[in-house]
């Protein structure tokens, strides 16, 4: 039991570190050493896009690191491969782990450009795209889903709606952010990245899974 508790606490610390929380009262910088390890869950190896790293929704981060002789792994990376869903509340700084609803179903959606949307939806997008936000709007038998990055001073930023799930009691919209790589050559121009998707009309509550990014929720108006 002690070993299990120690392992879980280590995973929790790493999960917190990924969100920018350091060790309380730490006077000296913490030295972390990324290490490439092999993960096998129920006999199946986990293969990531980049060796030794996984995409957390915004950046590629190490799948494991060593600190004072102990190996830590990201909480989200481990939990999701164990069939759990990880949620992050930036307001209360709370990590919640839930069982994935076996009755969940994938919702078909279409990503569209603002110019392809009805005039009323275009105006709604324009009113909100200068802020970093998420929102929904029902119109003419459809539900429109909006994710915005706000005003950015350069190019290279983006946002994508990657998946939409119906959990029975809510709709979950999976969102992936993209930022320019450090030192990358990008256009020096104001941009307003956004993602707009449309699904059949739903009256269920919609939750945007923004991988820990705090966003403003806008009303459908």
First to last CA, the chain: 53
Domain boundary among 74, 99, 124: 99
Confidence check: pLDDT of 146 > 50: yes
pLDDT at 201: 96
Shared domain check, 60 and 163: no
Residue bearing tokens 């009691």: 169
Shared domain check, 73 and 31: yes
Q: Per DSSP, which regions of the chain are E strands?
A: 33-34, 39-41, 44-46, 53-55, 60-62, 65-67, 70-72, 84-89, 94-99, 105-106, 110-111, 132-139, 142-149, 158-166, 171-178, 194-200, 206-209, 216-218
Contacts of 12 (CB under 8 A, 6+ apart): 75, 95
Shared domain check, 109 and 46: no
- Residue 141, classed as helix, strand or coil, is coil
Shared domain check, 211 and 110: yes
Decide which of 124 and 20 is more confident.
124
Q: pLDDT-derived band of residue 118, with 50, 70 and 90 as boundaries? A: very high
Confidence check: pLDDT of 23 > 50: no
Domain that residue 151 falls in:
105-218
Domain boundary among 99, 123, 142: 99
Is the Cβ–Cβ distance between 12 and 74 less than 8 Å? Answer: no
Query: 186 — phi, psi (to 5°)?
Result: -130, 155
pLDDT at 155: 93
Confidence check: pLDDT of 95 > 90: no
- Closest-CA residue to 215 (of 136, 149, 124, 137): 149
Confidence check: pLDDT of 214 > 60: no
pLDDT at 15: 44
Shared domain check, 124 and 86: no
Beta strand pairing call for 142-149 and 84-89: unpaired
Q: Specify which residues 191 forms β-bridges with.
A: 152
What is the overall mean pLDDT for the chain?
Answer: 80
Q: How many residues does the chain have?
A: 221
Shared domain check, 173 and 154: yes
Angstrom CA distances, 122 to 113, 129, 147, 178, 191, stand at: 9, 10, 13, 23, 17
Contacts of 76 (CB under 8 A, 6+ apart): 15, 18, 56, 86
19-22's contacts with Cβ under 8 Å and 24+ in sequence apart are: 19/88, 19/93, 19/212, 21/93
Q: 68: which DSSP letter?
A: T
Number of domains in the chain: 2
pTM of the model: 0.59
Shared domain check, 109 and 213: yes
For residue 128, the tally of other CB atoms under 10 A from its CB is 23
Please write the tens of the pLDDT for every residue from 161-179.
999 999 888 899 999 888 8
Please write the tens of the pLDDT for every residue from 51-72.
787 776 667 788 888 888 888 8
Shared domain check, 212 and 110: yes
Shared domain check, 68 and 137: no
């Amino acid at each position: 039991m002690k070993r299990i508790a120690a392992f879980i606490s280590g995973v929790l610390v790493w999960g917190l570190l990924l969100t920018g929380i350091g060790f309380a009262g730490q006077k000296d910088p913490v030295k972390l050493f990324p290490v490439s390890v092999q993960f096998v869950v129920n006999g199946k190896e986990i293969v990531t896009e980049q060796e030794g790293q996984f995409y957390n929704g915004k950046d590629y981060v190490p799948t494991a690191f060593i600190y004072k002789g102990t190996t830590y792994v990201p909480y989200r990376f481990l939990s999701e491969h164990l069939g759990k869903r990880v949620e992050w509340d930036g307001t209360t700084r709370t990590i919640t782990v839930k069982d994935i609803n076996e009755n969940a179903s994938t919702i078909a959606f279409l990503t569209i450009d603002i110019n392809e949307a009805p005039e009323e939806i275009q105006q709604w997008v324009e009113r909100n795209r200068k802020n970093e936000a998420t929102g929904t709007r029902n119109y003419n038998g459809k539900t429109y889903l909006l994710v915005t990055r706000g005003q950015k001073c350069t190019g290279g930023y983006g946002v994508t709606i990657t998946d939409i799930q119906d959990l029975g009691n809510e709709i979950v919209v999976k969102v992936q952010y993209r930022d320019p790589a450090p030192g990358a050559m990008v256009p020096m121009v104001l941009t307003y990245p956004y993602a707009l998707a449309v699904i059949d009309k739903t009256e269920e509550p919609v939750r945007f899974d923004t991988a820990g990014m705090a966003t403003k929720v806008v009303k459908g108006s």
